[in-house]
């Protein structure tokens, strides 16, 4: 990153290097790029760095790089801009697939928890055994 000669080059390198290890850093890099280079297409950069990345791959999930909290933070950021409505919905659907018990993302198994309270205990037990907080 440090070998960049311009702010635009530094930002591009930041997105590629740091943004590939953290979705929130990637999002920050995209925002920075749009400030440095106002004509840059923010939606295309976001698609490439959020939807196009394998944030829901096994290594990101098991390494806790991708968490419900980070996915929610990205979603809230996308919600701020009406022009990202389609991208925001796509992100929400991706997150709902990977977090099926998420009320925030309206996961497919949320209703099951509401209808069967004993399911909550099973989920809590699973979370405890995985040490997820």
The tens-digit pLDDT sequence of the chain (133 residues) is 567 789 999 999 999 888 888 899 999 999 999 999 988 899 999 999 888 878 888 888 778 888 999 999 999 999 999 999 999 999 999 999 999 989 999 988 887 777 776 666 666 676 667 655 4
Instruction: Quote the radius of gyration of the chain (alpha carbons, Å).
Output: 17
Rounded to two decimals, the pTM is: 0.77
């Amino acid at each position: 990153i440090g070998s960049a000669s311009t702010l635009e080059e530094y930002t591009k390198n930041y997105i590629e290097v740091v943004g590939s290890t953290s979705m929130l850093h990637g999002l920050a890099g995209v925002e920075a790029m749009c400030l440095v280079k106002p004509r840059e297409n923010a939606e295309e950069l976001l698609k490439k760095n959020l939807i196009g990345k394998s944030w829901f791959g096994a290594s990101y999930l098991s390494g806790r790089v991708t968490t419900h909290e980070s996915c929610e933070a990205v979603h809230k950021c996308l919600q701020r801009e009406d022009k990202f409505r389609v991208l925001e919905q796509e992100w929400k659907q991706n997150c709902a697939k990977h977090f099926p018990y998420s009320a925030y993302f309206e996961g497919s198994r949320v209703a099951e928890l509401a209808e069967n309270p004993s399911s909550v205990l099973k989920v809590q037990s699973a979370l405890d055994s995985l040490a997820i907080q």
